[in-house]
Amino acid sequence: MYNNSRFVAEFQGNKCIFHGAHVFAYDGTEHEKKGRKPMKKLSALVQGENATVQSVMTEGAMRRRFQELGLVPGTEVLCLQKSFFGSLRSYLIKDAVIAIRDEDADGVIIY
């Protein structure tokens, strides 16, 4: 359903609001009822926290780069540290340490 230039999708009680290629809201109640962690962006991980990639919402070259690094649905990710200035974080992805900017990590949905 389209609503004021946004796309609202609902599936099995879960609601996502899309504007372009970005997710702005997610009602993950059904997801949480199944005993899983709530969904959030990769950039929201704090040091020492791990998660599983749910989906990659980026397009073009950045999506291809993520795929080449192994950042695909089902991949386990561990946040190792956040840079002093806060816009860059390092992640352990498939036995490799990768630094990703927060604005790029916003396109990766995790649980």
- Of the candidates 44, 69, 37, 67, the one whose C-alpha atom is nearest the C-alpha of residue 55 is 67
Q: Do 43 and 77 belong together in one domain?
A: yes
What confidence tens digit (pLDDT) does each residue in 1-42 have? 434 445 566 654 565 655 544 444 445 555 555 666 678 999
Q: Do 67 and 103 belong together in one domain?
A: yes
Task: Give the other-Cβ count within 10 Å of 108's Cβ.
Answer: 28
The domain tally of the chain equals 2
Task: Write down the pLDDT at residue 86.
Answer: 77
Q: How far apart, in whole angstroms, are the C-alpha atoms of residue 7 and residue 17?
A: 6
What confidence tens digit (pLDDT) does each residue in 52-102 have? 999 999 999 999 999 999 999 999 999 999 988 878 999 999 999 999 999
Task: Write down the pLDDT at residue 36.
Answer: 63
Q: How far apart, in whole angstroms, are the C-alpha atoms of residue 16 and residue 11?
A: 9
Distance of CA 55 to the CA centre of its chain: 6
- Of the candidates 61, 40, 48, the one whose C-alpha atom is nearest the C-alpha of residue 69 is 61
Q: Do 74 and 23 belong together in one domain?
A: no
Task: Write down the pLDDT at residue 1.
Answer: 43
Q: Do 44 and 90 belong together in one domain?
A: yes
Q: Do 47 and 20 belong together in one domain?
A: no
**Phi, psi (rounded to 5 degrees) for 78:** -120, 130
Q: Do 25 and 45 belong together in one domain?
A: no
Task: Write down the pLDDT at residue 8.
Answer: 60
Residue 26: domain span: 1-34
Query: What amino acid occupies position 56?
Result: V
CATH for 84: 2.30.30.90
Task: Write down the pLDDT at residue 3.
Answer: 41
Q: Do 47 and 88 belong together in one domain?
A: yes
Q: Do 13 and 52 belong together in one domain?
A: no
Q: Do 22 and 59 belong together in one domain?
A: no
Q: How far apart, in whole angstroms, are the C-alpha atoms of residue 80 and residue 73?
A: 20
